[in-house]
Structure 1
Amino acid sequence: MSEHGGAGQHGRNARGGVGVSGIGEFGLIGKITARLSYGPTTLLGPGDDAAVVAAPDGRVAASTDVLVDGRHFRRDWSSARDVGHRAAAANLADIAAMGATPTALLVALCMPADLDTAWAEELADGLSAEAATVGASVVGGDMSASPTLTVAVTALGDLAGRPPVLRSGARPGDVLALAGRTGFAAAGLTVLNRGFRTPRLLVEAYRRPQVPYQAGPQAAQLGATSMIDVSDGLLADLGHVSAASGVAIDVRRDGFEVPRQMADAAQALGVDPYTWVLAGGDDHALAATFPPAVVLPSGWRPIGLVTDGAGVTVDGSAYDGPAGWDHFR
């Protein structure tokens, strides 16, 4: 073993690629920053002690999330670009769920010394590409040696003069609506866990979420009373809204369409597809409540109602399956 924590001669790893120890921290930083592009809100990018990001609203929405190799992603299931897209999406969706527009990402990367530099560069490409879909930029971060590959991302966003949409604003009589899709990523994860790589629709949904970013600010402009990013499962996340708002929420199964690929996969694997739809995470749909007089725009569909009481039900009854993901269970 070399003094570089497991990298071989001239910094090459066991797979014959160039490990990060071969070019060093600053060499890798140079390679990554050379690949980044910057949106109009980035006033100063990487290169100094801190970046400078425009905040015309005078307030900044901020969120952070972490992905750990072997727990949140597997490198034999997802490319480095895929992981970059997923890591960015998890944070950008949180910003959108506050009714804000994402502006910037900060990324901390902890990695083994023999990690291919190409993997780290492609990760940066995925992060930057996902951020660019909403006009945001990767503006800085940090890196460290670690035995476990870990990607930690912080997102910043602009509220554009509007109040943030909180989890605590739902009121009895509000309509529960959803933008985006649920169950696709969870179905893809189940398929991968069973050793398959198809249906592609489901596997790709797990690898790269399709997040309805614009629906967040749109909901805020329409007067949404509460909103949340569906990251851990629809029922689990609606539980947070229910508790914060002091209301009951009823979800209707007929508000969802189960696509043929999901139905077929569920039948083949012996799974109820609504387990994925109601309790599966990682699609990063947005769930919001609206006053009953609001006409929902394209992209939003009603899936339930807010009532007096407490807790979350499905078709008027308690749900007896798992409601979603808990990192410590």
Structure 2
Amino acid sequence: MSIAEAGEFGLIARITARLESGPASLLGPGDDAAVVASPDGRTVASTDVLVEGRHFRRDWCSAADVGHRAAAANLADIAAMGARPTALLVALCVPPDLDTTWAEDLAGGLSAEAARVGASVVGGDMSSSPTLTIAVTALGDLGGQAPVVRSGAQPGDVVALAGRTGYGAAGYTVLSRGFRTPKVLVEAYRRPEVPYAAGPEAALLGATSLIDISDGLLQDLGHVATASVVGIDINRDAFEVPGQMRDAASALGVDPYVWLLAGGDDHALAATFPPGVTLPDTWRIIGSVHEGTGVTVDRKPWQGGMGWDHFR
């Protein structure tokens, strides 16, 4: 059945049937607005948008994959403030001839990814559009902690990473060349593995700054360097090229460090911590903060591109 045949309210009923309620959802879909608990008294909010052909392709990803990707991009931003995600609001603009099953599976992916952190989809909106577009707003709770912002890095701090980089970018390159393997890389692009818990953990550990790596490690750390008015240097040797990534890079004629240092879509978290801090295994030190400006690799300018830019 197409969405035009199901109608707006028929589609809403089908989608809401796929959504689970999280502990912070006091009133979910079905009314004029949702009600979400905010025990801290402050709400962290972030919005992201995915446009077909720009952020995803239906021949590369299932509807559930797109749902996971859309949720992860927003939930990671909440974690990058040191907060715990609580709820998602989703606006869906779809072609009328799209099959209702695709929209239902999208909702299932959104709900499943949110459930990983105890959050839920609490509402949204939909409209007809020639271009399939998904806009997601994420809400979060700080749990009594101060938000960890980009502007707090200090000379002498260490730079640490939670999660992985390069996998999503490698998967994108593999798919764009017409291949579907290695599976570990393709699946990383389709469904990012985000270290959500590392965000609140970093806040408790005393992180001086924190950011979600969505557009590329070097580019996103550049935002921290600019906001904090410092320089950041990354150690290339801190990144080991996994075997399947090395093989794919060799086959495709790509420097794997371009994926690792400038590739997006993995949604790792990068933070700066005061010198001497003892970090758990969640975090690994990859560089340092110094007086100066910009981001370097082994104290030299990086020549392999910095990361993703929507308008470049």
Q: TM-score, normalised by structure 2?
A: 0.99
Query: In the alignment, does 2:31 pair up with 1:48?
Result: yes
**1:75 is aligned with what amino acid?**
R
Cα distance in 1 for partners of 2:18, 2:178 equals: 34
Match of 2:143 in 1: 160
Match of 2:226 in 1: 243
How much has 1:189 moved relative to structure 2?
A: 0.4
- Paired residue secondary structure (2:152): coil
**Quick one: which of 189, 193, 204 aligns to 1:221?**
204
How much has 1:293 moved relative to structure 2?
A: 1.9
Q: Report Cα offsets for 1:139-163 as digits up to 9, x if no partner.
A: 0000000000001000000000111
Match of 1:132 in 2: 115
Match of 1:207 in 2: 190
How much has 1:50 moved relative to structure 2?
A: 0.3
Q: Report Cα offsets for 1:261-292 as digits up to 9, x if no partner.
A: 00000001111000000000000000000001
How much has 1:37 moved relative to structure 2?
A: 0.8
Write out aligned runs for 1:297-316 (5 A).
297-316=280-299
Report how many aligned residue pairs link the two structures: 312
CA radius of gyration, larger in: 1
Query: In the alignment, does 2:270 pair up with 1:282?
Result: no
- Paired residue secondary structure (2:148): coil
**Quick one: which of 72, 82, 94 aligns to 1:99?**
82
**1:134 is aligned with what amino acid?**
V
Query: In the alignment, does 2:277 pair up with 1:294?
Result: yes
Query: In the alignment, does 2:159 pair up with 1:173?
Result: no
How much has 1:254 moved relative to structure 2?
A: 1.1
Cα distance in 2 for partners of 1:300, 1:202 equals: 22
Query: In the alignment, does 2:306 pair up with 1:323?
Result: yes
- Paired residue secondary structure (2:173): helix
Q: Report Cα offsets for 1:158-203 as digits up to 9, x if no partner.
A: 0001110000000000000000000000000000011100000000
Query: In the alignment, does 2:172 pair up with 1:189?
Result: yes
Write out aligned runs for 1:54-133 (5 A).
54-133=37-116
Percentage identity across aligned positions?
76
- Paired residue secondary structure (1:35): coil
Match of 1:4 in 2: none
Q: Which runs of 5 or more structure 1 residues have no equivalent in the other structure?
A: 1-17
- Paired residue secondary structure (2:271): strand
How much has 1:321 moved relative to structure 2?
A: 1.8
Cα distance in 1 for partners of 2:192, 2:230 equals: 30
- Paired residue secondary structure (1:168): helix
After superposition, the CA RMSD in angstroms is: 0.5
- Paired residue secondary structure (2:151): coil
- Paired residue secondary structure (1:239): helix
**1:31 is aligned with what amino acid?**
R
How much has 1:298 moved relative to structure 2?
A: 1.5
Cα distance in 1 for partners of 2:136, 2:240 equals: 32
- Runs of 4+ aligned residues of structure 1 deviating over 6 Å after TM superposition are none
Q: Which runs of 5 or more structure 2 residues have no equivalent in the other structure?
A: none
Q: Report Cα offsets for 1:232-260 as digits up to 9, x if no partner.
A: 00000000000000000000111112100
- Paired residue secondary structure (2:178): coil
**Quick one: which of 249, 254, 259 aligns to 2:242?**
259
**1:292 is aligned with what amino acid?**
P
- Paired residue secondary structure (1:220): helix
Cα distance in 2 for partners of 1:104, 1:39 equals: 8
**Quick one: which of 199, 215, 225 aligns to 1:232?**
215
Cα distance in 1 for partners of 2:277, 2:61 equals: 40
**Quick one: which of 120, 123, 128 aligns to 1:145?**
128
Q: TM-score, normalised by structure 1?
A: 0.94
Cα distance in 2 for partners of 1:320, 1:40 equals: 47
